[in-house]
Amino acid sequence: MAHTFDELVAMQRAADQAHSRVEDLRDQYGPPAHTPWTELQTDTYASAWRTWRDLARAVQSAVTEHATEQGTARSEVEADVKTTARHPKPAPQD
Q: Which residues contact residue 50 at a Cβ distance below 8 angstroms, ignoring those fewer than 6 apart?
A: none
CA distance 59 to 2: 12
Give pLDDT tens digits for 58-91.
999 999 999 999 999 999 999 999 999 999 887 7
pLDDT for 1 equals 65
Q: List C-alpha distances in Å: 87 to 9, 55, 61, 67.
A: 11, 19, 22, 21
In 1-94, alpha helices (H) = 5-29, 39-70, 74-86
Please say whether the beta carbons of 25 and 48 come within 8 A: yes
Map out the domains of the chain as residue ranges: 5-28+38-86
CA distance 14 to 59: 9
pLDDT for 92 equals 78
